[in-house]
Structure 1
């Protein structure tokens, strides 16, 4: 084997969405075979949005869209951030000096020990969001961050019953 060859592995591409101030959603949206660097580059290049409905999620990318049903729990994970942050601020209205001081304002730094996965299905999350933001029939959000998780070829069976797609570089 040549020293410049990199090992090809299988990765689950993950996108994290900020649904509400303290609710995030991680979604596995594709499988990719290649190096970790290639998988990260691909995951970072896929711009997506997510809509939370009462009984399903709708994931939209520039080239595709798909539905994740409530029963596909292995594809998504809701996360709650219990940190107490100050109210959101429109940074466009701040001066450069105010923006600089805001970056160092420790009130906006969260404690990771206060962030935890919750065992919610889509219906439970929808009910929670409906109580926090009443009067909405769906909740739309854009991508917050992305990542990849190595998946062994033996564990791929876990994802066979879902609509995960092989993601190829375009």
Structure 2
């Protein structure tokens, strides 16, 4: 019989990734498939500190100060870009709102971005970089810092885990 602590510490295979964004451009980066515990898989997802998009590559900086460089020749399959197609609304100064107005704003669907508002694009790194330069009139900007949006830990099914295990022997 399984109890919660036994199940929590069991190792399984997980696909781990993060999503980072800059304005209306989002980057989904798959960190890999890991055979570990659920808690450690989440720690892996949370280990990314920041992502910097440069003209022809990205740098992923981890919280332990390690980094990796991704370009279109190396790890191209590990990332994809999505663009928010929802029309932008003007910024709102929250400090002038009453408590009731703030509560209404939080529930205002016009400011909430959903999956339906996102469009996947098959861009390489250079295209994404030029898009941000043009979209935000930042032609002289040498890099764009992406900020955390979300992370994911997806358990692989037992059947897939067995296939992966057999493939590695």
TM-score tier, shorter chain, comes to 0.7 to 0.9
Classify 1:100/1:12 alpha carbon distance in 2 versus 1 (closer, same or farther; 3 Å).
Answer: same
- 5 Å-filtered alignment, 1:102-113, equals 102-113=105-116
Corresponding residue for residue 136 of structure 1: 141
SS of 1:48 mapped into structure 2: strand
1:130–1:136 contact (8 Å) kept in structure 2:
yes
In the alignment, which residue of structure 1 is the partner of 2:21? 18
Deviation at 1:112, TM superposition (A): 2.8
Partner Cα distance (1:31, 1:88) in 2: 39
Query: Whose helix proportion is higher, 1 or 2?
Result: 2
TM-score w.r.t. length of structure 2? 0.76
Greater displacement, 114-123 / 87-96 = 87-96
- 1:81-134 superposed Cα distances (whole Å, 9 cap, x missing partner): 111131233535544333212102121133532312111111111111111122
Is the Cα–Cα contact under 8 Å of residues 43 and 148 in structure 1 kept in the other structure? Answer: no
Compared CA separation, residues 92 and 155, structure 1 to 2 (3 A)? farther
* Structure 1 residues not aligned, in runs of 5+: 157-170
Q: TM-score, normalised by structure 1?
A: 0.76
Residue matched to 1:3: 2
Partners of 2:41 and 2:144 in 1: CA distance:
28
2: distance between equivalents of 1:47 and 1:91? Answer: 30
CA drift at 1:155: 6.0
Maintained 8 Å contact 1:43/1:147: no
